[in-house]
Amino acid sequence: MLFERHRTSDGEIGKHAEKGRSIDIMRREKIEDRRWRTEDGRFYFPFSIFHFLFSAFCLITLTGCSTEYNLATQQQETLIYGTDKEVSIGEAVSVKMEQQYDIVTDVDVNERAQRVLDRIAAVCDRKDITYFIKVLDKDVLNAVSLPGGYVYIFKGLYDELKTDEQIAGVVAHEVAHITARHAVKRIQNAYGAMILQGLATQSSAKVAQGVNFALISLFSEYSQQDEFEADRLGVKYLKKAGYDPSAMVEVLVKLREDQEKSPAREYSYWRTHPFIPQRISVVNQAITGKMDFKDYLNLMGE
């Protein structure tokens, strides 16, 4: 189909000019509307405008956005991934995790970790998912959480945790990442960028994309804001579960010492969970409700 500008002829302009309207005004009116018409008079939008509107439509409809109140963050949040898809992503990534790492099979280790997790999960801000925990048989000081309720502690870190309170300090922090949906939001941001580039896909493919993004970001650094929020929520969960929240500080001190004496190692906790000195200050403030001068200096040095 051929297209042509919808235009006002010079003759028409002249007629209006005779009625006291200048030719310049008429020409400005003529170009005021940049829309196009087909030969049969229908409007046609230039491709760039259409592409933008289509992308916006995809963002609103294909992604299935929903807005809900997050009890953990105490904010209304717009989510691309609902709980069902979040759980699907976490389950898929957990399979890949457990293919990559051996799982500690010691019954006492697993029962102890599960017992701690159950106490934290019972008081956390999300009751719409089931929480799981496993210890990965690798000598690394780290712990990670996946969307949908999956928590993993590496045996290198587990062996450094001498009390249930210290285990709870690690678990509470990881559960807080889940309740605040930090990983989901990171995946959502990446997927949202793809949609705006016109790469929207069907719902089943969306889960696959989420899995890929989760794998890529699994050992990436959390933002400072996410870390601080997970620490504050973790302290709240420790208190509600009856654990001594100062154990979280003890764990962070251990990790800071490891950071100071060890070279950069793949998957180290302080690489994937940065800002340890500042986090110690945030945790102390969350525990006591106030900040001493040393903690203030730590935060000012961030």
Each of the 302 residues of the chain gets a pLDDT tens digit; together they read 333 334 444 454 444 444 445 555 555 545 444 444 445 554 433 434 334 333 443 444 444 566 777 788 877 777 777 888 889 888 988 988 898 899 999 999 999 999 999 999 999 999 999 999 999 999 988 999 999 999 999 999 999 999 999 999 999 999 999 999 998 888 777 665 555 444 444 455 555 555 555 555 554 567 888 999 999 999 999 999 999 999 999 999 998 888 777 655 544 444 455 578 889 999 999 999 865 545 445 555 54
Global pTM reads 0.68
Q: In this predicted structure, what is the pLDDT of residue 273? A: 55
Helical packing angle, 246-261 and 164-179, nearest 10°? 90
pLDDT of residue 241: 98
